[in-house]
Structure 1
Amino acid sequence: MSEHTSGLVLNLECTVPAKPEETFRLLTEPDELAAWWGPHGFTIPAVEVNLVAGGRYRFTMAPPEGEPFHLSGTFLEIDPPWRVVYTFSWEEPAPDDRETVVDLSLARADSGTHVVLSQGPFLTEERLALHTAGWSDSFQKLGTVLAGRA
């Protein structure tokens, strides 16, 4: 996995051991998302997805301790199995939160699928760091889920 930031935009890449079609399913289907989304220790007790351009999604995230919280957004572009773009907003935002855009692009790789993530722009370095950590953990969990299916 590699990461770099440009301004206050997160850019993260990883390669997972699955074909693009399977990887895309894990990135977009509710039951699949619940298996890997979020930082280590978090669970996703509810996922709603209307996977059409203009469709909405909503996740309930539960930390190891504390109250569940929510994120939601709108799908802007869907090109299975190569790309999905959507807005991302916390429903219980911190003062430094604002809506960002997530762009996930997939490409065939010798060992599976290369996933490229871009998200931003963020308002502060703190929010960028929070999302960098969350996506890094999530991509590790995604790779683990896919390796278990190989």
Structure 2
Amino acid sequence: MTRDGELRVRLRRTLDGLCPVVFRELTEPRELARWWGPDGFTVPSVESDLRPGGAYRIAMQPPEGELFHLVGEFIEVAPPERLSYTFRWEEPDPEDRETVVTLSLHDIDTTRSELDLDQGVFATERRRALHEEGWSQGLGKLGELLASRMD
């Protein structure tokens, strides 16, 4: 939660790979499907029209349960430093509302970059916490994937 009371997720991660490499992982459907989502989830398909006003649709398969989709529209596409898009579930929980995700990247040395994530505003703390957990696990998988490519 921010000082003004808005329910937001704010995360920062240091990743192996410079901004162009990380930006590709965040935007190319094949790459995104390798790490997206909480632990145990798979991503059977990613459709993406990567341009301002373009839409995306990500199919997510939990370890148990039925396939579901998240969808949205790209607001800002500024490779390799910034990406912003709307985020909503196709079949939302009653506590859900559309949020905006903003990802900012900057190189911190010759091999690593820093990713700042901001998402909000959520309707309830429960939904904010759910997204924070999902992002934390997904970005953990992204970090492992990028680190394995440095070896």
What is the TM-score normalised by the length of structure 2? 0.95
**Partner SS, residue 148 of structure 1:** helix
Percent identity (aligned): 54
What is the CA–CA distance in structure 1 between the aligned matches of 2:108 and 2:129, rounded to whole Å?
28
Matched positions, count: 146
Q: Give the letter aligned to residue 122 of structure 1.
A: F
Q: Where in structure 1 are there 5+ consecutive unaligned residues?
A: none
Q: Matched residue of 2:122: which SS? A: coil
Aligned to 2:86: 87
**Greater displacement, 57-66 / 103-112:** 103-112
For residue 92 of structure 1, report the CA deviation from its aligned partner.
1.1
Give the aligned partner of residue 46 of structure 1.
45
In 2, the alpha carbon distance for the partners of 1:141 and 1:102 equals 19
Shift of 1:91: 0.4
Residue 95 (structure 1) shift: 0.2
Query: 1:115 — aligned with what?
Result: 115
Q: State the match for 1:97 in structure 2.
A: 96
- Aligned-pair distance for 1:60? 0.3
SS of match in other structure, 1:130: helix
Q: Could you tell me which residue of structure 2 aligns to residue 23 of structure 1? A: 22
- Find the counterpart in structure 2 of residue 69 from structure 1: 68
Letter in 2 for 1:144: E
Shift of 1:106: 0.2
* Structure 2 gap segments, 5+ residues each: none
The 1-side partners of 2:137 and 2:127 are apart by 16
Q: For each residue in 1:40-94, what CA deviation from the matched residue of structure 2 results, as whole angstroms up to 9, or x when unmatched?
A: 0000000001001000000000000110000000000010000000000000100
Displaced runs of 4+ in structure 1, greater than 2 A? Answer: none
Distance 2:104 2:18 in 1: 13
Cα distance per residue 1:11-37 (max 9 Å; x no partner): 110010001000000000000000000
Q: Distance in 2 between matches of 1:145 and 1:63?
A: 20
Aligned to 1:78: 77
